[in-house]
Amino acid sequence: MELDFGDIRQIEYEILLSVDRLASELDLRYFLDFGTLLGARRHKGFIPWDDDIDIAMAPETISRFLQVGTKLALQS
């Protein structure tokens, strides 16, 4: 199955929603960075030519996020 740019964007958006939901549940802070931040601010979405998502967290936040996220992934 070949994905087009719109399909990829939809998957990336769903990933962002999942990260936001898990971070909110765990009370973890994260932020958008680089092109994702610029797109959200300037384009109210994705930058038209950008093809990735940029999420940043403090090192201790990443450890907690990965620990819980891995447990949840293994359960499903």
Q: Return the domain boundaries, the chain.
A: 1-27+49-76
Q: Binning pLDDT at 50, 70 and 90, where does residue 41 land?
A: very high
Rg (CA), the chain: 14
Say yes or no to pLDDT of 70 above 90: no
Whether this model's pTM surpasses 0.85: no
Output phi, psi for 31, to 5 deg.
Answer: -150, 155
* Distance (Å, whole) CA 74 – CA 26: 18
Nearest 5°: CA angle at 5, between 69 and 73? Answer: 15
CA distances from 4 to 11, 18, 37, 57 (A): 11, 21, 23, 29
